[in-house]
Structure 1
Amino acid sequence: MIKIDNLSYSFPKKDLYNKISFTLEEGQHCAFIGASGSGKSTLIDIIMDPERYMFDGKLEMDSNCRIGYVSQFSQLDKTKETTVFEYIAEEFIKLQNEITSICTEMETSSDIDTLLEKYQESLDAFDAIDGDDFESNINKKLNLANLSKHKDRMISELSGGEFKLIQVIKEMLNKPDLMIMDEPDVFLDFENLNSLKSLINSHKKTMLIITHNRYLLNHCFNKIIHLENTELQEFDGRYIDYNLSLLQTKIELQELAIADDEEIERNEILIDKLRERATYNAEASNGRALKARVKIQERLEARRIKAPFVDIKQPNINLATDNEIEETVALKVNDYRVAFDEMLLENVNFEIKSTDKVALIGSNGMGKTTLMREIFKNNHECVEINNDIQVAYLSQMQGEILNESNTILEEFFDAGFETYREIRSYISKYGFEEEIINQKIGSLSGGEKNILQLAKVSSSKANMLLLDEPTSHLDTYSQIALEKAIENYNGGILMISHDYHFIINCMDYVLMIEDKTIRKMSMRKFRKMIYATYFDKDYLEIEQKKKSVESKIALALIDSDFELAKTLSEELEELIKLL
């Protein structure tokens, strides 16, 4: 279906791909993985519209290939006056109306042949998307995604997560030859994540999906393409098997590569000695010995094993406070309520201490983000923030905190930094190289924007953080860095998240939205609720251990500690058997 051969592409100051190749066969479900900012979304754009890009290499795809697309940044149109059913059925209804209109026109027109041709084209298009059964098919997909109850709701009333699933259903039912989705899991609650898994697994045609979500990676794909450091690795099989194979290959190749480097270095020392001897002693034998040794060096260089990509671009996130205070009540919410067309929250009462780390949990559309914004604005009669508390906010809507028309440099001048050197030094810790300091924020990837938000939040030195989906778009190593930063942070945190492991690893307790109000829940009860309702306990616990071991192997490779890496690899293999 798609064949990419030796494709290279660069931005003005950044190489994205260096002679990458892969194929995508009909019916494959392919996960596209890689670090934030590595160029995954750009490659998707190239596949969808190759004429816009000047790249080297070949991209082969059937010119008649119909592509369905769900963007990572799709926004809900609150003004759209249509129901969920009408929104999904848009293409079907349009074709039905075309067919009806042509039939009406044929009753009075003399140009029957032209109209018959148009009629057949519309009928073929309608048949291609199984138009005769479209109502039944829509109902089946809504039921599969547990969204049947929303069928007659207005699109404008949906939460962002609900709308994302509706978009997925709409694109699937239009029967594209290739379905492309860019981080469709972002912002989905536990129930909707399971719904997305069911939708992906029910789809019989070819899929190419960018995701960092381990749950989807482990349950939905039979092919992996991995982009890292301008290179691409291709694997036919499950993500679990790929990750083990990748780590084992890295251990083997890096060990061989270091041995090669050592041999080349020893040979270079010999060449230097022979060159020095030949300089002071012009005997022919010295010249021949030097030439022979240089030839050996050339052969060593030619057969040199290339080290696999092991560079971990992990940002150095440091959530520090300028104004630590003794433990006290930092935030009080008293009798809060919020309603739009219907009541979302009422009788909400809770308080958070200055050192508490708290997760605010609830299904999509329950008012979590609305409450978080009210706390940040601090002008609501039901919200009271201690005078000694300085609050910083990370928004899931990145444009709320970042001016996307700014360059990175301008953004941090606006944040109070005084010199170019100070900004360059600061953001380099977060993985932003000097070459992109003058790049517009709007051109960054979703993960890079979230890292930039974290850098901005961190620079405020606030002693209470409001974090709305902080792990969205982040790759694994950025998530690990954020976990460590939260663990070391001395202030209070209120965090909205649907990342189960992140909540378990970072938070002290949970505020759970139930029956339009909020109740406090211990981590032990939260775990039990998750196990009973959403995810298998054994799977979650094994997956957490796996993730930890994989990270330890990667760090061991950075330190060239091969014995430790091999021992951990065996441990990882045993964990995979349990899955």
Structure 2
Amino acid sequence: MLHLADGAKRFDHKLLFEGANWLITPDERTGLVGGNGTGKSTLLKILAGIEHLDHGQLNRSKGLTIGYLPQDGLALRGRTVFDECLSVFKAAQDMEHEMGELSDKLAHFDPASAEYEIAADRFSVVSETLQALDLYNLDAQVGAVLGGLGFQKEDWRRDCGEFSGGWQMRIALAKLLLEKPSLLLMDEPTNHLDLESRNWLEEYLKSYPRAFILISHDRYFLDVTVNKITEVWNKRVWFYTGGYEKYVKQKTERREQLARDYASQRERIEQLEAFIGRFRYQATKAKQVQSRIKELEKIERIEVPEDEETIHFTFPQPPASGRIVCEVSGLSKRYEPKQILSNVNFTIERGDRIALVGPNGAGKSTLIRMLSKLEEPTAGDVRYGHNVLADYFAQDQYKVLDPQAKMLEDISAAAPKIPTVELRSLLGAFLFTGDDVFKQLGVLSGGERNRYALARMLVSPANFILLDEPTNHLDLRAKDVLLEAIRNFTGTVLFVSHDRYFIDGLATRVFECEHGGVQVYPGNYEDYLWRKNGGPEQMQAAAVEMQKAHIPVIETPPPPPPPATPASNVKKLNPIKLKQMQDRVRFAEEEMPRLEDRMTAIETAMGNFVSAEESQRQTAELAEIRKQHEELMLEWEDLSTQLEEQGAAV
């Protein structure tokens, strides 16, 4: 469908990548990852045809359509949201108009004429095309996508120009999803989505009928939407099968192999250089010396990039608060004419890590501002407990920073007891390296200043911190630093985030803002979803059914599963059958690595385009080998389990 052959790209004097070979198939579901500045977005723009290669070729199959969503910068106006989305079906609407004209012609032409036959044939083609496009269901399609992305019905008839930049990007995303191009390219599509819209997009992409490639810093989103990871690393493009978690494991293994190859190559180079140095001036060894010089010149030197520094940062621990950190009673907030929150009651205790979730407009940011006492409620009270020191991080926290202050001086003043080396490491984790730390805060972009404001908050925290979208503008590395720091924090945290991995790794309770109230759920986000989707009710219904059947219901937690059946109670297999199973397991363990090597070899070969026919043959062979590998893996797991039950060694 799309083939990148020996691609290379520079940005000014910096080489982003070279020797890139990528065959993109019609069923592509890929996450594009890599460090900041490695060229991910540039590569995506090259695939979209927006940027050009410095070297290599990009070949497209006939009829390929590509849709591209940038990170930001799109502005739409002049049409309502609904009409803007309907505009992607203009070709279908034109065909509908053509169909009306053809109907008129058929009514006036002589059925025996050549004109009638031509019009009838065209009418049939247009009719079939419109039926396939489901023309008469377009409004429902648009409504489903807009609803999934968080647009209320009253927003559909508003002009696009009335919406903020984040909502403008949602409109652009909606248009792409409705258009269904052959290849969908998305650069951080979840940046402007709340958690509910992100969950909807995950489900939509799972059933998306065509190919897509996306850049994302959300681990969970990548794990549930893609089946391949493509990484721009070490000036090359690398491919991994599976989601993000599998990629991390495979990358570690690949790096270890690269280190072994590097050590082996260095050993050979040293041997050659020692021989050349020893016998360079001996005439009897001239031929051997020249041979080794040529070998040395032909060696393509392996480069092992420097390890990314692993940053571990710990909050300076604050003074302990009382057991009750915050009590909320009868809390209400109204912005005329809309009631945002009504009669909200809950208690926050020391050590809680609370995720505040809910759709956009449900009142999350309003509630967190009232909890931080930066905004007064219309009614009700927010009471802090003994010795509570609160601090608040807003989505636009950068606005309170001194634009004239220099970064390193400012953060050092906020944390005079922390060594400068540690502060620079922390700033590095938040993507401020080298001379960046000496810049004035006023010259940074809004996203950069927000990142800095978060790093600054980490060095001098209160014992009750409230964070509104702290993971915005952070890459995976910085998110990990923040997550680890909060996990080790002895105070109390309430946060708003749309990152599932971040929430699941941190939350001990979930507060849901919805319909003007706040519902409290114990556990992390997975627990919240289980209860939200009727988990306790399902258990209760099962208990009622058991009572009807006169089966005693156990009120206490269910007992642990019974121990595995002892080998002595398992029916013993005859020695011949047992030997056959052991042989088959050993065969599978030897065959699976061979199949994996063959898959790697084919993927490498596919990077060197020969012809369309050869690419199709390689694709078919790769699919067949993957199927064999999967079947062999299932057989191996089954036989291994049976052998374990038999107490037999493999």
Per-residue deviation, residues 515-566 of structure 1 (Å, max 9, x unmatched): 5322433227x64442355799xxxxxxxxxxxxxxxxxxxxxxxxxxxxxx
Change (3 A) 1:217 1:427: closer
Residues paired across the two proteins, number: 502
* 2:367 equivalent in structure 1: 371
Give the SS at the match of 1:320: coil
Give the SS at the match of 1:32: strand
Q: Compute the displacement of 1:182 (Å).
A: 1.7
Q: Compute the displacement of 1:393 (Å).
A: 0.7
Partner Cα distance (2:131, 2:399) in 1: 42
Per-residue deviation, residues 153-201 of structure 1 (Å, max 9, x unmatched): 2157999998866543322223434322122234645543342123223
Partner Cα distance (2:47, 2:440) in 1: 24
Q: 2:232 aligns with which of 227, 252, 255?
A: 227
Asked if the contact 1:376–1:391 (Cα under 8 Å) also holds between the matched residues in 2, the reply is: yes
Change (3 A) 1:294 1:326: farther
1:360 paired to 2:356: yes
Change (3 A) 1:505 1:299: same
Q: Compute the displacement of 1:343 (Å).
A: 3.0
Asked if the contact 2:96–2:130 (Cα under 8 Å) also holds between the matched residues in 1, the reply is: no
Partner Cα distance (2:270, 2:191) in 1: 47
Q: 1:180 aligns with which of 166, 182, 185?
A: 185
Per-residue deviation, residues 210-231 of structure 1 (Å, max 9, x unmatched): 1244444344335532112432
Partner Cα distance (1:385, 1:532) in 2: 29
- TM-score in terms of structure 1 length: 0.66
* 1:470 equivalent in structure 2: 470
Asked if the contact 1:313–1:431 (Cα under 8 Å) also holds between the matched residues in 2, the reply is: no
Q: 2:332 aligns with which of 325, 328, 337?
A: 337
Unpaired runs of 5+ residues, structure 1, are: 105-123, 537-572
Give the SS at the match of 2:231: strand
Asked if the contact 1:412–1:456 (Cα under 8 Å) also holds between the matched residues in 2, the reply is: no
* 1:261 equivalent in structure 2: 266
Change (3 A) 1:371 1:158: farther
Change (3 A) 1:225 1:398: farther
Per-residue deviation, residues 299-324 of structure 1 (Å, max 9, x unmatched): 46854673666834544444335x53
Q: Which amino acid aligns with 1:72?
A: Q
Q: Compute the displacement of 1:136 (Å).
A: 0.9
Structure with larger Rg? 2
1:72 paired to 2:71: yes
* 1:349 equivalent in structure 2: 345
* 2:155 equivalent in structure 1: 154
Asked if the contact 1:355–1:492 (Cα under 8 Å) also holds between the matched residues in 2, the reply is: yes
Partner Cα distance (2:370, 2:127) in 1: 47
Asked if the contact 2:72–2:165 (Cα under 8 Å) also holds between the matched residues in 1, the reply is: no
Q: Compute the displacement of 1:508 (Å).
A: 3.5
Q: Compute the displacement of 1:510 (Å).
A: 2.8
Asked if the contact 2:311–2:426 (Cα under 8 Å) also holds between the matched residues in 1, the reply is: no
Q: 1:419-458, aligned counterparts within 5 Å?
A: 427-428=427-428, 430-434=430-434, 451-458=451-458
Asked if the contact 2:7–2:53 (Cα under 8 Å) also holds between the matched residues in 1, the reply is: no
Name the % identity.
Answer: 26
Give the SS at the match of 2:154: coil
1:531 paired to 2:527: no
Structure number with greater CO (CA < 8 Å, separation at least 6) is 1
Asked if the contact 1:483–1:506 (Cα under 8 Å) also holds between the matched residues in 2, the reply is: yes
Asked if the contact 1:331–1:351 (Cα under 8 Å) also holds between the matched residues in 2, the reply is: yes
Q: 1:8-407, aligned counterparts within 5 Å?
A: 8-12=8-12, 15-48=15-48, 50=50, 55-60=54-59, 66-73=65-72, 82=80, 85-92=82-89, 133-134=134-135, 136-140=137-141, 142-143=143-144, 147=148, 152-155=153-156, 167-186=172-191, 188=193, 191-234=196-239, 245-262=250-267, 264=269, 270=274, 285=282, 296=292, 299=295, 302-303=298-299, 306=302, 311-312=307-308, 314-320=310-316, 324-327=319-322, 329-339=324-334, 342-353=338-349, 355-376=351-372, 378-381=374-377, 382-383=381-382, 389-393=389-393, 395=395
CA RMSD of aligned residues (A): 5.4
Asked if the contact 1:159–1:365 (Cα under 8 Å) also holds between the matched residues in 2, the reply is: no
Q: Which amino acid aligns with 2:174?
A: I
Q: Which amino acid aligns with 1:70?
A: L
- TM-score in terms of structure 2 length: 0.60
Unpaired runs of 5+ residues, structure 2, are: 102-124, 536-632, 639-650
Change (3 A) 1:288 1:461: farther
Give the SS at the match of 1:494: strand
Change (3 A) 1:165 1:132: same
* 2:104 equivalent in structure 1: none
Q: Which amino acid aligns with 1:69?
A: Y
Per-residue deviation, residues 9-66 of structure 1 (Å, max 9, x unmatched): 4445754334433232445333212234433223334444646x78454445579865
Asked if the contact 1:38–1:230 (Cα under 8 Å) also holds between the matched residues in 2, the reply is: yes
Q: Compute the displacement of 1:241 (Å).
A: 6.6
Change (3 A) 1:149 1:330: closer
Partner Cα distance (2:258, 2:523) in 1: 42
Partner Cα distance (2:290, 2:246) in 1: 42
